[in-house]
């Protein structure tokens, strides 16, 4: 048996250093919390004029008219959530695929180079994605993908409304796909590290019991790493919710509420970036700051839901990595 | 207007090197500071470089946007502000400010229609307003066909492109639409950002130009220089006198000359829909704002000297950057105004 020395027993040798270290780490942790609270508070304070003027209508109204001084945040909130959802729908399976390939299937010599390439993707500035989206991807979507979607799915009863509209290549679908490509490296890199942590004996035992590769994947690797994978997904989602430049380029920046994914919309971050410099009335500026506060709230709600989901999973299936 | 922009740092550097020697002594005040309109930034920077080379006085201009320029000069943090949207005389009096125009430019409807060359498409003001309002949806609409006999127009939906950011360009464009279309005036109205009934928004002139180039059958509006540089197909517009006019420095200065400056108090005049026979209808000016009783008289005088220099010697630079210098009569009126207003 290994004998562990309790930390208390090291007392006397470096009490001062220990205490300083403990103070420093505690301070750092509380500082982050303080910063978070201060940011939220100052945005709520900056947006108080908008909240006072419009009340709950600020969240439920889709009207955004600087000339008449009427502001409602429904379109940016909707656009932010829809584009992020599309991004996640695309990024999740692909990143998990990349991570599984790198840890389970790829020949050992190729894992390093491919892994580094995926990580490098994360280092590309978002403006590059935006310009690629505008000059290369949007015309491709407008010329090939969107007409096909309208022709083949546009007539379907409910799904059809999602793909209705002129194929201009700029809109929520394009923005969601570009966002999805942007967050793939984030999810893939974390997922790969997590999959590598699955103990080899577990997998070997499964193989010994006659499991196929697919069964090892779905019955051992994925359940074992569930919480960490969900964490990785929400890291990506957090980035998608707040992404500004790339979205501004391909989303269309129009305050129109439309169910069709082919239509232009707006996102919270893009609206702030676009309009803040020339927001010359008090109410206009306050509304933009209130938007920033709402982005904070939206992100907070989404991450809290993730945390709740994790807790539930832990209760039902037991603790995992 | 941006084509020479990359040269500015070089010019400024050369100017700085040239003036650091003997002329250094004649620098009275520190650098003149200004802030505001992005529309005027290229020509103002070029003037500043020339002025520094000749006199040694530096002009530091920050293009933070018209709205920012107005609030900075009101707060007294800069010597002058620049805005694309003139202030009303009452607001000027309240802020103890004087206002005068400095340079002229034009705003051009650009289209992406296969087979339509620059200046070939003809649009009337009300039709342009109806297109941007989403009331005219197709290129072969009877109203467009009527103005374009002999031009083949496609049976395609019009994709509208507008600015997504607040902008003096949008202000002048929507001001024009409000003047020619009562429906537009009561609908979206005029402003640096308006509630666009339809279309996609691009950030900045380059964003709008980019969208128009990418989206087939689209129409947008940009500063003249962007239409020129991109070789984009612009439309000729019907002016107040009833003739179709293509944008050019000639038709812009016609508009400036025919605008009723003499009766505009504090130059509070937006030149759109100018009455001249050959005047381009969406012509715009940038206005400079300065305190009428400045706290630092030496700096105020230095700033005025800079603008006098620009009026006298800045025409070539302005023309090179696709702006139009002010007509001489207007410059004389500004001189009188400055002498009366700024003490």
For range A159-171, the mean pLDDT: 82
pLDDT digits (tens, 9 = 90+) for B167-177: 888 999 999 99
CA closest to B203 among chain A residues: A274
**pLDDT of B114 over the 50 cut:** yes
Quote the distance between the C-alpha of residue B46 and its chain's center: 16
| The pLDDT of residue B132 | 93
State residue B12's pLDDT score. Answer: 45
Name the least confident of A94-103, A196-205, B30-39.
B30-39
Q: β-pairing, B200-202 with B233-234?
A: unpaired
pLDDT for the residue A49: 92
| Distance, CA of B254 to chain centre | 15
DSSP string, A168-219: -S-SHHHHHHHHHHHHHHHHHHHHHHHHHTS-HHHHHHHHHTT--HHHHIII
Confidence at residue B15, expressed as pLDDT on a 0 to 100 scale = 44
Contact list in A for residue B205 (CB cut-off 8 A) is none
Q: Tell me the C-alpha to C-alpha distance, in Å, between residue B168 and each of A247, A298, B141.
A: 24, 33, 30
Binding-site residues on chain B for chain A (CB distance < 8 A)? 64-68, 70-71, 157, 159, 164-167, 188-196, 198-203, 207, 210-211, 214-216, 218
What are the tens digits of pLDDT across the range A248-280?
Answer: 888 888 888 888 888 889 999 999 988 887 777
Nearest CA among A277, A289, A266 for reference residue A50: A289
CB contact under 8 A, A170 and B65: no
Question: In Å, how far from its chain's centre is CA B167?
Answer: 10
Mean pLDDT across chain A: 86
Q: What is the pLDDT of residues A66-92, one digit of tens each?
A: 888 889 999 999 999 999 999 999 999
**pLDDT at position A316:** 74
Counted across chains A and B, CB pairs separated by less than 8 A come out at: 99
Confidence of residue B34 (pLDDT cuts 50, 70, 90): very high
What is the pLDDT, as a whole number, of residue A143?
Answer: 87
Query: Nearest Cβ partner of B214 from A66, A138, A264?
Result: A138
Mean pLDDT of B264-270: 85
pLDDT value at A3 more than 70: no
**Which of A68, A135, A278 is facing B67, going by the closest CB pair?**
A278
What pLDDT is recorded for position A5? 55
pLDDT of residue A86: 94
pLDDT tens readout for residues A148-163:
888 888 778 777 788 8
Dihedral Cα B258, B264, B266, B272, nearest 10 deg: -50
Q: Is the pLDDT of residue B18 over 50?
A: no
Buried b or exposed e, range B282-299, using 16+ CB within 10 angstroms:
bbbbbbbbbbbebeeeeb
The rounded distance, in Å, linking the Cα atoms of B113 and B135 is 19
Chain A residues with CB under 8 Å of a chain B CB are 63-68, 134-135, 138-139, 142, 166, 168-171, 248-249, 252-256, 264, 270, 273-275, 277-280
The residue assigned the tokens 């020619």 is B180
Please give the ipTM for the structure prediction: 0.75
Chosen for mutation from B214, B216, B218, B230 (greatest number of chain A CBs closer than 10 Å) is: B214
Residue B81, pLDDT above cutoff 90: yes
Rounded Cα distance, A36 and A237, in Å: 19
Q: Which of B64, B68, B195 sits opposite A67 (nearest CB)?
A: B195
pLDDT at A1 over 70: no
Give yes or no for residue B70 having a pLDDT over 60.
Answer: yes
The answer to whether residues A285 and A266 touch, using CB atoms and an 8 Å cutoff, is no
Amino acid A269: pLDDT: 92
pLDDT for res A43: 92
Give SS3 for B200: strand
And the tokens for B167? Answer: 């902008």
Among the listed residues B260, B296, B293, the one whose alpha carbon sits nearest the alpha carbon of residue B92: B293
- Any bridge partners for residue B104, and if so which? B285, B324
Q: What is the pLDDT of residue A44?
A: 92
In a 13 Å sphere around the CA of B7, the CA atoms on its Cβ side amount to: 15
B68 CA to chain A: closest CA distance, Å?
Answer: 7
The helix/strand/coil state of B232 is coil
Q: Which two tokens stand for residue B326?
A: 């002010």
Min Cα–Cα distance to chain A from B89, Å: 18
Q: Write down the pTM of the prediction.
A: 0.79
Q: What is the mean pLDDT of residues A189-218?
A: 89
Q: What is the pLDDT of residues A26-72, one digit of tens each?
A: 999 999 999 999 999 999 999 999 999 998 889 888 888 888 888 99
Whole-number Cα distances in Å, A53 to A32, A56, A282: 32, 9, 12
pLDDT value for A10: 52
Cα(B125)–Cα(A278) distance, integer angstroms: 27
């Amino acid at each position: 048996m290994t004998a562990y020395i309790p930390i208390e027993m090291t007392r006397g040798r470096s009490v001062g250093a220990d205490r300083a270290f403990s103070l420093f780490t505690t301070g750092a942790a509380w500082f982050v919390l303080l910063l978070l609270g201060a940011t939220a508070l100052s945005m709520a304070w900056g947006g108080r004029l908008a909240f006072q003027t419009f009340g709950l209508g600020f969240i439920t109204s889709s009207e955004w008219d600087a000339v008449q001084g009427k502001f409602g945040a429904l379109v940016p909130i909707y656009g932010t959530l829809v584009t992020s959802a599309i991004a996640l729908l695309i990024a999740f399976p692909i990143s998990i695929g990349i991570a599984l390939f790198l840890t389970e299937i790829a020949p050992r010599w190729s894992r390093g180079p491919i892994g580094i390439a995926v990580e490098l993707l994360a280092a590309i500035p978002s403006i590059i994605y935006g310009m690629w989206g505008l000059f290369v991807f949007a015309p491709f979507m407008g010329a090939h993908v969107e007409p096909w979607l309208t022709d083949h799915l546009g007539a379907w009863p409910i799904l059809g409304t999602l793909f209705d509209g002129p194929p201009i290549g700029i809109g929520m679908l394009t923005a969601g796909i570009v966002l999805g490509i942007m967050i793939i490296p984030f999810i893939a890199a974390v997922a790969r590290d997590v999959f590598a942590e699955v103990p080899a004996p577990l997998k070997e035992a499964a193989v010994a019991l006659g499991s196929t590769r697919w069964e090892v994947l779905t019955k051992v690797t994925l359940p074992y790493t569930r919480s960490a994978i969900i964490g990785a997904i929400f890291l990506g989602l957090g980035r998608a919710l707040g992404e500004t430049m790339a979205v501004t380029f391909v989303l269309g920046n129009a305050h129109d509420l439309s169910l069709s994914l082919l239509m232009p919309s707006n996102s919270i971050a893009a609206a702030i970036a676009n309009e803040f410099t020339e927001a010359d009335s008090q109410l206009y500026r306050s509304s933009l700051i209130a938007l920033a506060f709402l982005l904070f709230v939206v992100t907070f709600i989404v991450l809290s839901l993730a945390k709740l989901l994790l807790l539930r999973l832990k209760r039902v299936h037991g603790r995992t990595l | 207007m941006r084509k020479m922009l990359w040269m500015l740092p070089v010019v400024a550097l050369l100017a700085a090197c040239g003036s650091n020697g003997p002329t250094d002594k004649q620098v009275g005040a520190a650098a003149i500071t200004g802030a505001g309109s992005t529309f005027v930034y290229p020509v103002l920077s070029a003037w500043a470089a020339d002025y520094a080379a000749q006199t040694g006085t530096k002009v530091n201009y920050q293009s933070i946007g018209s709205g920012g320029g107005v609030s900075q000069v009101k707060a007294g943090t800069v010597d002058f502000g620049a805005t694309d949207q003139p202030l009303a005389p009452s607001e000027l009096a309240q802020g103890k400010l004087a206002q005068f125009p400095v340079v002229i430019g034009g705003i051009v409807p650009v289209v992406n229609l296969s087979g339509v060359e620059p200046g070939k498409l003809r649009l009337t003001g009300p039709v342009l307003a109806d297109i941007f309002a989403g009331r005219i949806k197709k290129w072969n609409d009877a109203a467009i066909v009527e103005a374009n006999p002999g031009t083949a127009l496609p049976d395609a939906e019009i994709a509208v492109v507008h600015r997504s950011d607040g902008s003096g360009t949008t202000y002048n464009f929507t001001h024009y639409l409000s003047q020619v279309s009562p429906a537009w005036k009561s609908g979206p109205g005029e402003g640096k950002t308006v509630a666009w009934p339809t279309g996609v928004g691009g950030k900045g002139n380059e964003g709008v130009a980019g969208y128009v180039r990418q989206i087939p059958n689209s129409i947008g509006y940009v500063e003249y220089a962007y239409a020129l540089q991109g070789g984009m197909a612009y439309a000729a517009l019907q002016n107040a006198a009833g003739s179709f006019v293509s944008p050019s420095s000639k038709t812009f200065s016609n508009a400036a000359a025919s605008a009723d400056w003499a009766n505009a108090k504090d130059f509070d005049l937006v030149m759109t829909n100018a009455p001249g026979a050959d005047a381009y209808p969406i012509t715009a000016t940038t206005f400079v704002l300065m305190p009428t009783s400045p706290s630092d008289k030496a700096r105020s005088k230095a700033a005025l000297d800079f603008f006098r220099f620009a009026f006298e010697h800045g025409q070539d630079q302005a023309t090179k950057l696709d702006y139009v210098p002010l007509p001489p009569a207007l410059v004389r009126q500004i001189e009188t105004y400055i002498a009366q207003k700024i003490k």
